[in-house]
Amino acid sequence: MFATVLPWGSLCWGVFRHPLSGPDDVYLVAGADGIVTTAGTGTPGLDRFLASLDGQPVPGVAVFTLALVRGPARRALPLRVEQVVRRDAEQAASKAQAAAKQPKAPWPKRRPGRPKGSTHKPKAARPFMPE
């Protein structure tokens, strides 16, 4: 039973056509890309994606959904949901670009505070102004 091949396209069309469609209905096909944030590292396809609400890349899984939207009823019926996985070449390119953007320090980092061996240097004597 589990190895049976089903014609999913015909089944989805049959389910949609009879009970859901009306003669005056307007339908749109819409696609949306979403990010599901995750905290673990064991999730397959885990990568960093730009989240528009956060305004920065966040670790998560990207999902693309293609849906049929029924206009007057404002109902969306998902037709296809797929996980977006970036290729290795795209990941390497984005990591190289991020490494190139990092500013290089103009001088080596020092420990905070006054350097050892520095002494107090008196200021040069200024002549007094006659008033």
**What is the pLDDT at residue 19?**
58
Q: Using one digit for the tens of pLDDT, what is the confidence trace for 3-25?
A: 777 777 777 666 666 556 666 77
Q: Which two tokens stand for residue 121?
A: 């240097």
Q: What is the pLDDT of residues 43-84, one digit of tens each?
A: 776 777 777 777 887 888 888 888 888 877 778 888 888 888
Hey, what's the torsion of the CAs at 89, 92, 95, 96, to 10 degrees? -100
**Prediction pTM value:** 0.51
d(CA 32, CA 67): 8
For residue 59, which phi and psi values (nearest 5 degrees)?
-75, 135
pLDDT of residue 28: 83
Coil, strand, or helix at residue 35? Answer: strand
Beta-bridged to residue 82, according to DSSP, are 64
Give the model's pLDDT for residue 2: 66
Q: Considering all CA atoms of the chain, what is the largest pairwise distance in Å, rounded to the nearest integer?
A: 108
